[in-house]
């Protein structure tokens, strides 16, 4: 199972710092998180960048998630 580590901002919705989720793609991972935490507004994670195994991905939708992956949700940083 992939290990998802929540920021303190997301812990307001999860009540947990980390959780294991069974998924083979990012989309499945998000679906699993939202099913587990129904009070979390979807945009709290879908509008964030994500780090999967240390690689930051801006639009991950179908990116693979291995059973040993570590996933972090990150605030997007815009440049100018």
**Tens-place pLDDT, residues 15-40:** 999 999 999 999 999 999 999 999 99
pTM of the model: 0.87
26: left (phi over 0), alpha (psi -120 to 50) or beta: alpha
Has residue 79 got a pLDDT over 70? no
Give the position of tokens 């580590």: 5
Q: Regarding the domain delimited by 2-74, which CATH topology (the fold level of the hierarchy) does it fall under?
A: Ubiquitin-like (UB roll) (3.10.20)
What's the pLDDT score for residue 48? 85
Which residue in 16, 78, 80, 7 sits closest to 44, CA to CA? 7
* Model pLDDT, residue 74: 84
């Amino acid at each position: 199972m992939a290990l998802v580590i929540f920021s303190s901002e997301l812990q307001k919705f999860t009540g947990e710092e980390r959780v294991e989720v069974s998924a083979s793609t990012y989309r499945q991972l998000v679906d699993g998180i939202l099913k587990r935490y129904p009070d979390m507004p979807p945009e709290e994670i879908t509008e964030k960048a994500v780090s999967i195994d240390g690689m930051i991905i801006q639009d991950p939708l179908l990116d693979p998630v291995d059973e040993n992956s570590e996933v972090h949700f990150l605030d997007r940083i815009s440049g100018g």
